[in-house]
Amino acid sequence: MIQAIAFDADDTLWHCESLFQDTQARLSDILDRYADHAEVSRRLHDTEARNIKLFGYGIKGFTLSMVETAIEISEARISADDIHRIVSMGRAMLEAPMQLLEEVPPTLTLLATRYPLYLVTKGDTMDQRNKIEKSGLGHHFTAVEVVLEKNPQTYREVFGRQGIDPARVLMVGNSVPSDILPVLELGGWAAHIPYHVTASFERHDSDPNHARFTRLERISEVPAFLDAIPAARRP
């Protein structure tokens, strides 16, 4: 029934959003003379939402949005030294060491003996490719796709290039809007593994009520879920 498994990358295979959250907290500390933390968070979210169509997702776009937010909140009074601190924070994110989530390497090793594995991640191509290289996980995947956005059309094109029927794919990821709902819409299967923090753009009120959906606690539960599909989860 399952022909291939596709994985999200950030916060599914390695830690990512916690790095953004920590950097955002440091931005709030820099700007605390101009606005409280809640206001900085709200304004940064609004700036990111406005800039996504220009910069896309990723650390570089996030850094530019931090700089723009700082200038707007301070009414252009922020110092060059503080702007330099913000840019340095973005650079530090790009250079941060890779931290894999628990049980990822052995689980991928096991699954790769049973299915072709694919990596489907969105964001800045150079940034994502750099993270994949640092992770040491690239050899597990038959193909790696870095996309600008995750929606049904994107997945249809990705799986089409690989000659895979979307209805025979299991997508594993931490985001319901990006990793789960589009694949379910195409008739595929989806396993949601929540991360302890969620980016504001990826939040969703509730799990989908769908026969081909499951929520797991950790990636090591994926093999057992796959084993249960023929007996208990036929559509």
Residues 113, 9, single domain; the answer is yes
Which residues neighbour 84 within 8 Å (Cβ) at sequence distance 6 or greater? none
Mean per-residue pLDDT, 160-169: 94
Residue numbers of the domain that contains 186: 4-14+100-232
* Pairing state between β 169-173 and 143-147: unpaired
30 lies in the same domain as 146: no
Quick one: which of 217, 55, 35 has its CA closest to 124?
55
Whether the per-residue pLDDT at 206 is higher than 80: the answer is no
| Residue after which a domain boundary falls, among 62, 95, 128 | 95
Same domain, 177 and 132: yes
CATH of residue 194's domain is 3.40.50.1000
pLDDT digits (tens, 9 = 90+) for 38-71: 999 999 999 998 998 888 888 999 999 999 999 9
Tens-digit pLDDT profile for residues 120-161: 999 888 889 999 999 999 999 999 999 989 999 999 999 999
Same domain, yes or no: 219 and 113 = yes
Clarify whether residues 143 and 211 are in a common domain: yes
Domain boundary among the residues 95, 130, 155 is at 95
Q: How many domains does the chain have?
A: 2
pLDDT tens per residue, range 72-128: 999 999 999 999 999 999 999 999 999 999 999 999 999 999 999 999 999 888 889
Q: pLDDT value at position 31?
A: 97
pLDDT value for 230: 64
Same structural domain, 90 and 135 = no
Distance (Å, whole) CA 61 – CA 67: 10
Measured over the CA atoms of residue 155, residue 156, residue 162 and residue 165, the dihedral's sign is positive
User: Is the four-CA dihedral 212, 217, 223, 225 of positive or negative sign?
Assistant: negative
DSSP SS3 for 119: strand
- Residue 124 and residue 198 in one domain: yes
Q: In sequence order, which ranges of 1-151 are alpha helices (DSSP H)?
A: 17-30, 37-55, 59-73, 80-95, 104-112, 125-135
Amino acid identity, residue 176?
V
In order of 12, 59, 115, 143, 227, the CA distances from 5 in angstroms are 13, 27, 7, 11, 13
